[in-house]
Structure 1
């Protein structure tokens, strides 16, 4: 087994030199092709000597062909090994840089040691260091996984060449033999780790050479698009490649269902049996339901295309599985932005119906954050992600009655939280420098966000607005630094009052951000948000020009000192004040 110390000792220049030398030898041998053909028995020569000469020439030609094939196979293997070793050592170097930056060291056997002095005593810092240590261990694991694959592949080619088992093909020239040997000398490229964490995925991707990455994107975009931990630009490219494939598939299904519906209708017209009519009616209803669902997914693709057409967008999730398409689209560059905000919406959300509007509002929030930073003399870059990566509950009778889908249950939120946790961790894992990461959630999406944060993420700030609860009654469960959890509650928002899923969030000790009319010190006036909606024109939580939107923009930019704070005065708080005062 290859160890970290082995990877450190590997010398890519030696492989490069061998690659060049093997190429020179191959070219020299292939250059003898004309001479080899010229030594064939001359026409008209016959007899035992001629037969012996012909046999000897054939044996010599075959030996030359197999030698050239072997050299070509080994040359290709050595060349690809050189590129792969460069990538693996680069990945190990990144891990070692991260280790040194945070007070860790990587031993020769791959174990991670904490060498920080003094050791932190703050619980939050201890938890963060644990996450870093886990990330380092996962990255080193992928380095060794790839290193062992390279070692085994190269050894296999060398062994086949040594045993003269390289196929020289069925051509007639030495060049043909060279091409045949070269075709068999390629190294394999291992796929992503099965069930890997975002750190595993990031470590795997960083261990691939540029050529291997390009091949992976071309041949397996379906592997990469939803793989948390990969760079946003890679996920975007892979997911965009899937869109036309999915559209063609859906259009074919629409045509098939339309024909099926037509055929069933014709059979019903011809039927004279009441029992047959009933059976056909059931089939017709089922086919129409499937057609409607398929057409909705076609409309989801239209919504995604419309959003991406705005430019400066990254398609970070495209998941056509399940009942409804799921997607996440970023405004801005998640790979390079200093601040990344991830928004999770709630009840009734679909890609088809909501992605363009939510993206527009998140883009405006991004603009608020960047402009506020410029006014403070701290210009920065922000990326804002609309994450519809789960199937949010819908306000339909069948979902309301389904305990696994109902908005009155946390089942859908828990399922969504699993995916959101990976996505949030993946943002940090995909980068060598972590951004300031903010998670914001509205309504049922705030429950999904709260449950995700309890699993441990790299989130630096969390904002919950119109929240029915966070799935806990203890703010520390969110694993966010003290003073970096925020709640926004608009006047007349009943959902935000009663703490359906855990205690009312505004009683947990989070910072309370204002959603009221506010005039800023520079004279700008901000409007109040009213009710529960997130994107309702003028009064929604995310509506442009509202105090709520302004506050969330400031948090997204890390400008905590500028936020407009508030005290909750909704219906639930009035009841609590009345209870504290006692009866009249």
Structure 2
């Protein structure tokens, strides 16, 4: 098995030169077809000598066909290995670049060593410093692992083709011409496309994807979209293309199941009284409605990416981005709470995220910072629903944090995957509302690489200590509107309003120094209303300008009275 050091030295040029030579030899061999035909037994020649000449000519033809088939197999194998090595070379270079930028050393055996200079660190930030070091080190280790896995696969596949050719195991497929033999041999020389790592981390997935050639990546999108549509660490553009391709097959499967259930119910005197068929039919119809909502959302003006499509649970799960998460300077991921469903909520939340994207870019342009923004609506978990049975007895009850815990285990790698899929990390913000803030708070107790968080209308973050929310010190924010009873519950940890170290920002009416008046948000569900103070505060945090937030005393953390008015500086 090759080591990481071995793979570092691999170059595609010798393979390319070999392909050039094999192209020439294959052309020469196929060009001998006419000579073989001309060497046949002249018409009218009969007898023992003619039979012998004919047999010799057939033997030569068969030998030539096998030779051509073997040459074609080797040519294809070496050509595909050349492309694969080129892609792997770029992946290794990217991994080494990440290591160098962050002061890590990757040894020849693939071990990752922290080589950062020993400097004094602010004790208030030491935990986050080491947490980030650990995150980068894990990313490098996983990328190295996937590079070695891919290199081993290339080496093994090409060796297998060469070995088969050497042993005469490449057949001509019953060819009757050298061209037929060439085609048959080429079909036996292809290298396999290695699948994604089993239960891989976002960094494993990113390393695997980066190790593939563009042709291999496109083949996976075309032939195995289910491999990558929901795979955290794969770029958003690839996930979007794969998931859009899955929409039709998901719909067909659901429609077939719907028709089957309806036929069973129609044929049963008691309907669904003694079976669960009627409940399942309702669930299937809701999933079909979810597909409708997804397609309607994707058809809206502006760029959108379908980053998650999962019909395997009781209710559909999906995530849709406004903008491009692969290129945006600032990315925000919003997790909604109680009663959220794809069929009932995606359209409305997408509108809010589109408005937030616009307002954030507006603030960035207004204050000269510039930059692009992508916002994501993430309904990637089974949010609690409001029903008597659901509240009291359902495993996804809003009275339990079970759904939030399970959601957090899906949200954390989704957040991590955004960073893992890119050469340069965006400014990444997590937004959580209501029960979704509990889900987000639990996710951020893992090492997600999120830069800022804003919670609003929260019944608790799953902790009493803001230091357990793993974002840089000072980058956790909380908004609570007037008359929001949920925000005072403190059910899943203390009321975030009472957390030491939490930044408390306003939802009240505000007039900014430039004369703009922002409206108040009241109650539990108006935090993202357009042109509201709470939406404005979300936008400046998402845009990496937390010093411009407005607090409940009417001032920002940098004192908004000192802000320059646009056009005066």
TM-score by length of 1: 0.92
CA distance in 2, matches of 1:13, 1:552: 51
Q: Give the structure 2 partner of residue 9 of structure 1.
A: 9
Q: Give the structure 2 partner of residue 366 of structure 1.
A: 357
The answer to whether structure 1 residue 551 and structure 2 residue 537 are counterparts is yes
Q: Give the structure 1 partner of residue 177 of structure 2.
A: 173
CA distance in 1, matches of 2:272, 2:70: 68
Cα deviations across residues 458-514 of structure 1 (Å, max 9, x unaligned)? 100001100000101111111111100000000011111131011111111210010
Q: Give the structure 1 partner of residue 446 of structure 2.
A: 455
Alignment of structure 1 residues 154-303 onto 2, 5 Å: 154-264=158-268, 268=269, 282-283=273-274, 286-303=276-293
The 1:523–1:225 alpha-carbon spacing in structure 2 relative to 1, beyond 3 Å, is same
Q: Give the structure 1 partner of residue 41 of structure 2.
A: 41
**How many residues were matched structurally?**
548
Alignment of structure 1 residues 465-484 onto 2, 5 Å: 465-484=456-475
Q: Give the structure 1 partner of residue 562 of structure 2.
A: none
Q: By how many angstroms is 1:40 displaced?
A: 1.5
CA distance in 1, matches of 2:443, 2:498: 20
**Equivalent position to 1:522, from 509, 514, 525:** 514
**Equivalent position to 2:141, from 137, 142, 147:** 137
Q: By how many angstroms is 1:128 displaced?
A: 0.3
Equivalent position SS for 2:482: coil
Specify every segment of 5 or more residues in structure 1 that has no aligned partner in the other structure, as ranges: 269-276, 534-539, 569-584
Q: Does the Cα contact within 8 Å between 1:488 and 1:512 map onto a contact in 2?
A: yes
Q: Give the structure 1 partner of residue 151 of structure 2.
A: 147
Q: Does the Cα contact within 8 Å between 1:554 and 1:560 map onto a contact in 2?
A: yes
Q: Give the structure 1 partner of residue 549 of structure 2.
A: 563
The 1:281–1:185 alpha-carbon spacing in structure 2 relative to 1, beyond 3 Å, is closer
Cα deviations across residues 369-389 of structure 1 (Å, max 9, x unaligned)? 111111111111110000000
Cα deviations across residues 338-361 of structure 1 (Å, max 9, x unaligned)? 000000000000000010100000
Q: By how many angstroms is 1:249 displaced?
A: 1.7
Equivalent position SS for 2:550: coil
CA distance in 1, matches of 2:262, 2:207: 47
Equivalent position SS for 1:140: helix
The answer to whether structure 1 residue 512 and structure 2 residue 512 are counterparts is no
Equivalent position SS for 2:477: strand
Instruction: Tell me which moved more, 541-550 or 289-298.
Output: 289-298
Q: Give the structure 2 partner of residue 537 of structure 1.
A: none
Q: Does the Cα contact within 8 Å between 1:403 and 1:409 map onto a contact in 2?
A: no
Equivalent position SS for 1:428: helix
Cα deviations across residues 389-442 of structure 1 (Å, max 9, x unaligned)? 001000112221225211010000000000000100000000010000000100
Q: By how many angstroms is 1:123 displaced?
A: 2.3
Q: Does the Cα contact within 8 Å between 2:131 and 2:447 map onto a contact in 1?
A: no
Q: Once superposed, what is the RMSD of the aligned Cα atoms?
A: 1.3
Instruction: Tell me which moved more, 110-119 or 80-89.
Output: 110-119
CA distance in 2, matches of 1:79, 1:120: 52
CA distance in 2, matches of 1:75, 1:397: 67
Q: By how many angstroms is 1:256 displaced?
A: 2.4
CA distance in 2, matches of 1:80, 1:456: 38
CA distance in 1, matches of 2:130, 2:446: 16
Equivalent position SS for 2:267: helix
Q: Does the Cα contact within 8 Å between 1:512 and 1:567 map onto a contact in 2?
A: no
Q: By how many angstroms is 1:290 displaced?
A: 2.1
Q: Give the structure 1 partner of residue 110 of structure 2.
A: 110
Cα deviations across residues 148-206 of structure 1 (Å, max 9, x unaligned)? 00000000100110111101111200011010000000000110000000000000000
CA distance in 2, matches of 1:98, 1:86: 19
Equivalent position SS for 1:282: coil
Q: Does the Cα contact within 8 Å between 2:7 and 2:151 map onto a contact in 1?
A: yes
The answer to whether structure 1 residue 388 and structure 2 residue 374 are counterparts is no
Equivalent position SS for 1:340: strand
Cα deviations across residues 53-90 of structure 1 (Å, max 9, x unaligned)? 12211211111111101100000000000000000110
Q: Give the structure 1 partner of residue 79 of structure 2.
A: 79
Instruction: Tell me which moved more, 492-501 or 142-151.
Output: 492-501
The 1:450–1:109 alpha-carbon spacing in structure 2 relative to 1, beyond 3 Å, is same
Q: Does the Cα contact within 8 Å between 1:403 and 1:411 map onto a contact in 2?
A: no
CA distance in 1, matches of 2:293, 2:69: 53
Instruction: Tell me which moved more, 419-428 or 362-371.
Output: 362-371
Q: Give the structure 2 partner of residue 577 of structure 1.
A: none
Specify every segment of 5 or more residues in structure 2 that has no aligned partner in the other structure, as ranges: 555-569
Q: By how many angstroms is 1:281 displaced?
A: 5.6
Q: Give the structure 1 partner of residue 369 of structure 2.
A: 378
**Equivalent position to 2:412, from 416, 421, 431:** 421
Q: By how many angstroms is 1:118 displaced?
A: 2.9
CA distance in 1, matches of 2:553, 2:398: 28
Q: By how many angstroms is 1:260 displaced?
A: 2.4
Q: By how many angstroms is 1:108 displaced?
A: 1.1
CA distance in 1, matches of 2:116, 2:261: 64
Q: By how many angstroms is 1:126 displaced?
A: 1.5
TM-score by length of 2: 0.94
CA distance in 2, matches of 1:491, 1:258: 48
